[in-house]
Structure 1
Amino acid sequence: MSQSTLVSTRIDKWLWAARFFKTRSLATNAVELGRVLQNEQRVKPAHAVKVGDILEIHHADQVWQVEALRILEVRGSASIAQTMYAETADSITKRQQRAEYRRLHTEPAAQLQQRPTKRQRRQLDNIAID
């Protein structure tokens, strides 16, 4: 069966080919942990993805809601991977809002590369008191 006539493929293969995960084992693990929903349902890694399915993918701090447009089992270039799905408008706005929130509300501890010095600790304590 050629790549253009595929009707369905395993969800872990599709996620890997669409470049949501770097390896197939990472995609399999995410599906097993329930971080990938297909049509609002938890599925197993061997579950089939078909054109028109809605997938919700939680990876790192990102959440994508996409519709499967093409079925490929091989990993191609990023431009080919982007033709495999279409992100929903609601997902785009939520991701943009989340990115804006992260940009404006940085976690103070995220800027620390190591344990604070005595001087930095005093400054942090003074901020907490004020």
Structure 2
Amino acid sequence: MERVAQDEHGPAVADHRQGAGHRTVRRPDLAPPHGGESRVGGMAAADEVKAAGSAGPVRIDAWIWSVRLTKTRSMAATACRAGHVQLNGERVKPAHTVKVGDEVRLRLEGRERIVVVSQIIRKRVGAAVAVEAYVDNSPPPPPRADVLAAGVRDRGMGRPTKRDRREMERLRGL
């Protein structure tokens, strides 16, 4: 059984075995960076962006996911494959790279998001940090009352008739 101990020189591993006595082994891979205290509770927001890094190309599906425009990376890749993502006016595949200044259009869940890339981020970051990575030029979302009124049927009403379908299409504006 191993146990991590902390002293003035950084963490060490104490090896306790029967008959072996007490032995302390120094582990440099567990030492805090630059001899300072190790942080508990994660990184600060500024460090998250540095860790996410702007070095090297970033795939568009990874960028869309990391700035929280989609919930999952696979959802971002699926949107790209379906043609719901445009980069500078052209449909792109998930592996296409993103640069600062590119305009990304994403059509998802009945809403179009138009964003201009202002920062390249590889890893998913907090919402407050993610908002700084792009400029949002999206039109405002439709009012929630209008969305709910369009074609909502009561439970147990059965299959809609032709007349019901026409009314739902009229409400949706089709």
Q: Do these two structures clear the TM 0.5 threshold for a shared fold by scoring above it?
A: yes
Given the alignment of the two structures, is residue 21 of structure 1 paired with residue 31 of structure 2, yes or no? Answer: no
SS in 2 for 1:83: helix
The 1:42/1:116 distance shift into structure 2, 3 A limit, reads same
Whichever structure has more strand as a proportion of its residues is 2
Q: Is the contact made by 2:53 and 2:122 (CA closer than 8 Å) also made in structure 1? A: no
Instruction: Write the distance in 2 (CA, Å) between the matches of 1:111 and 1:82.
Output: 37
Q: Is the contact made by 2:105 and 2:114 (CA closer than 8 Å) also made in structure 1? A: yes
Instruction: Write the distance in 1 (CA, Å) between the matches of 2:146 and 2:78.
Output: 32
Cα deviation, 1:35-83, whole Å, max 9, x if unaligned, reads: 0100010111100000000010111021111100110110011111111
Match of 2:103 in 1: 54
Q: Which has the higher contact order (CA 8 A, sep 6+)?
A: 1
Task: List structure 1 segments (4+ residues) > 4 angstroms apart after TM superposition.
Answer: none
Given the alignment of the two structures, is residue 68 of structure 1 paired with residue 117 of structure 2, yes or no? Answer: yes
Match of 1:110 in 2: 152
CA RMSD of aligned residues (A): 2.3
- The runs of 5 or more residues in structure 2 that have no matched partner are 1-49, 159-163, 165-174
Question: Aligned pair count?
Answer: 109
The 1:54/1:116 distance shift into structure 2, 3 A limit, reads same
Instruction: Write the distance in 2 (CA, Å) between the matches of 1:6 and 1:46.
Output: 17
The 1:111/1:40 distance shift into structure 2, 3 A limit, reads same
Q: Is the contact made by 1:7 and 1:71 (CA closer than 8 Å) also made in structure 2? A: no
Larger radius of gyration: 2
Letter in 2 for 1:110: V
Whichever structure has more helix as a proportion of its residues is 1
- How far residue 3 of structure 1 moved from its aligned partner, in angstroms, is 3.7
The 1:51/1:34 distance shift into structure 2, 3 A limit, reads same
Identity, % of aligned positions? 31
The 1:36/1:111 distance shift into structure 2, 3 A limit, reads same
- The runs of 5 or more residues in structure 1 that have no matched partner are 118-123, 125-130
